[in-house]
Amino acid sequence: MSNQDKTMNNPSPGKVQNLHDEHPRLRLDEGALEAAKRSLEKGAVTPSYGPWREDIIQLLNDALATEIVCTLRYKRHYYTAKGLASPAIAEEFLVHAQEETAHSEQLAERIVQLGGEPDFSPSTLLDRSHADYDESADLQAMIRSNLIAERVAIEAYSQMIALIGDKDSTTRRVLESILSQEQEHADELSDWLTP
Ligand SMILES: [Fe+2]
Ligand SMILES: [Fe+2]
């Protein structure tokens, strides 16, 4: 095939190239793929986490402290409400305590996957938690303080999800699943609350 024929079969290669330049393509970052083959000590953390990894670990550690405080508050309420008029509410507190513990485990696991250290230090727990501990003696006060804590958790997780966006889709999925359970908790508590 002569050069002239080649040109006729592919009349304007320059034009195709220009089209690519004008419209950025969905292409993987080959350099980051190569970098992922190195730094094996980083486990699941690859270059795409970029500069956000430490901030995400910090957000997760604050959420971890919140979940631990929520577990402790619900446990306290479970044991003190048990002898009161409504054993059904006490059971609800126990279920919530167990679910907050499960959340704390999901968060700790994700922190470690990101190469961070989960902070379980009891001495700083309340300072780091978004939600409060509570020692109310009557059932309605317990329900109210738990509902406040759930609303704080819902707001914190919603903000975290918005902040993380597409920077870390695995963490976002973990947070979304926890958020939906906090919304259930708040709903259930609302049903118990007398106006
Ligand atoms: Fe939780
Ligand atoms: Fe909750």
For a pLDDT cut of 90, what percent of the chain falls above it?
68
For residue 118, give the DSSP letter. -
Q: Which has more pLDDT, 18 or 134? A: 134
For residue 44, give the DSSP letter. T
Exposed/middle/buried for residue 114 (C-beta within 10 Å: 0-12, 13-18, 19+): buried
Q: Which has more pLDDT, 82 or 189? A: 189
Q: Where are the alpha helices (DSSP H) in the chain?
A: 3-9, 13-22, 30-37, 53-81, 87-113, 125-128, 139-164, 169-192
The least confident of 33-47, 108-122, 124-138, 177-191 is 33-47
Using the mean position of ligand 2's atoms as its centre, give its distance from the Cα of residue 91 in Å. 14
pLDDT value, residue 9? 46
What's the pLDDT tens digit per position in 84-113?
A: 777 899 999 999 999 999 999 999 999 999
- Closest ligand by atom to 187 CA: 2
On whether the CB atoms of residues 64 and 111 are closer than 8 A, the answer is yes
For residue 48, give the DSSP letter. G
What's the pLDDT tens digit per position in 116-150?
A: 999 999 999 999 999 999 999 999 999 999 999 99
Contacts of 80 (CB under 8 A, 6+ apart): 137, 142
Contacts of 86 (CB under 8 A, 6+ apart): 139
- Closest ligand by atom to 175 CA: 1
**Residues in the chain, total:** 195
pLDDT value, residue 74? 98
Using the mean position of ligand 1's atoms as its centre, give its distance from the Cα of residue 182 in Å. 6
Exposed/middle/buried for residue 19 (C-beta within 10 Å: 0-12, 13-18, 19+): exposed
pLDDT value, residue 18? 53
Using the mean position of ligand 2's atoms as its centre, give its distance from the Cα of residue 113 in Å. 23
pLDDT value, residue 5? 46
Task: Give CA angle at 95 (171, 74), nearest 5°.
Answer: 85
Using the mean position of ligand 2's atoms as its centre, give its distance from the Cα of residue 56 in Å. 21
